[in-house]
Amino acid sequence: MSLPLEGLSAVVTGAGRGLGRAEALELARLGASVVVNDFGQSGRDGSGEASAAPAEEVVAEIRAAGGRAVAHLGDVADFEQARELVGLAVSAFGKLDVLVNNAGILRDRMVFSMSEDEWDSVIRVHLKGHFNTTHFASAHWRERSKAAGGPVYGRIVNTSSEAFLGGSAGQPNYAAAKGGIVGLTTSTALALAKYGVTANAICPRARTRMTEDVFAGFQVPEEGRLDPLAPEHVAPLVGYLASPASAKANGQLFVVHGGIVAVMERPKVAAKFDTSKEVFSFEELDSLLSPHYESRPANETFAAAEVLGLKHG
């Protein structure tokens, strides 16, 4: 019996630790050949010397289980290094079929205290990093489609966050980047559908080096039981979205953690007001909008966490 991803090749960025590692291992378990990308810096803020160890350790783990994998140690936020990453998948495995964008850093600060560098660095790694790899992967698929005279196989799985959906007061850079990733995903989904490529995004909740502060108050399970916030709860959805079975899922956003997968809807109109004249006046807007907001809870948001009945992380 063939495996769901047998014969396919995948790139997973930020795959040396945490979510990316779990995703790379899951894709390999399902039969994919994997390029394990990780810049290997020790600090979750992107500090520290780059190291080959995280990516190479995951490659060794995949190979020990009988899979195929190679390491890439480049910075996906660098345009040329992202080109090299996609090129490595093609040279090592003949083609690229799946791109999982996961690499990221944190530099948290309230918006009134955030420096320009703290803003730029997070936007660079998350949003530009997603764009760079997507750019080169999509060009690869477009050329293959033109050569084949029809659709080819391609899957993109991007990593957003509930920080975008529900807000995160100390992460204006991160929340903005993650919102931008959703916009990039939906645009890419529309642009590449005719080539046979789908693009979807996930908002994972997992206990990793990136989220150790966020989930510090969440109880760790007893020994022998899987942590509800373990990255292994997220990886199966990535495996599904990378597979042929997900062909009809395109431009979608999923919240995933601890045994839950929620398919999010696009924003809906919550209320609509029409002017009684040709143009709204200040007084008319005040008479319509002020009562609307006075009747609603003071801290109401459209957060996915509240919709799901969960505490936002």
Looking at the DSSP bridge assignments, the partners of residue 256 are: 204, 261
Cα–Cα nearest to 313, from 176, 202, 210, 215:
215
Confirm if 310 and 203 have CB atoms less than 8 A apart.
Answer: no
Cα–Cα nearest to 166, from 103, 220, 214:
214
The reply to whether 293 belongs to the active site is no
Helix (H, G, I), strand (E, B) or coil at 1: coil
Catalytic residue, from 121, 161, 168, 243: name it.
161
The reply to whether 178 belongs to the active site is yes
Confirm if 186 and 156 have CB atoms less than 8 A apart.
Answer: no
Catalytic residue, from 33, 153, 160, 178: name it.
178
143-182: b or e for each residue (b if 16 or more CB lie within 10 Å)? ebbeeeeeebbbbbbbbbbbbbbbebebbbbbbbbbbbbb
Catalytic residue, from 9, 145, 160, 174: name it.
174
Active site amino acids = 161, 174, 178
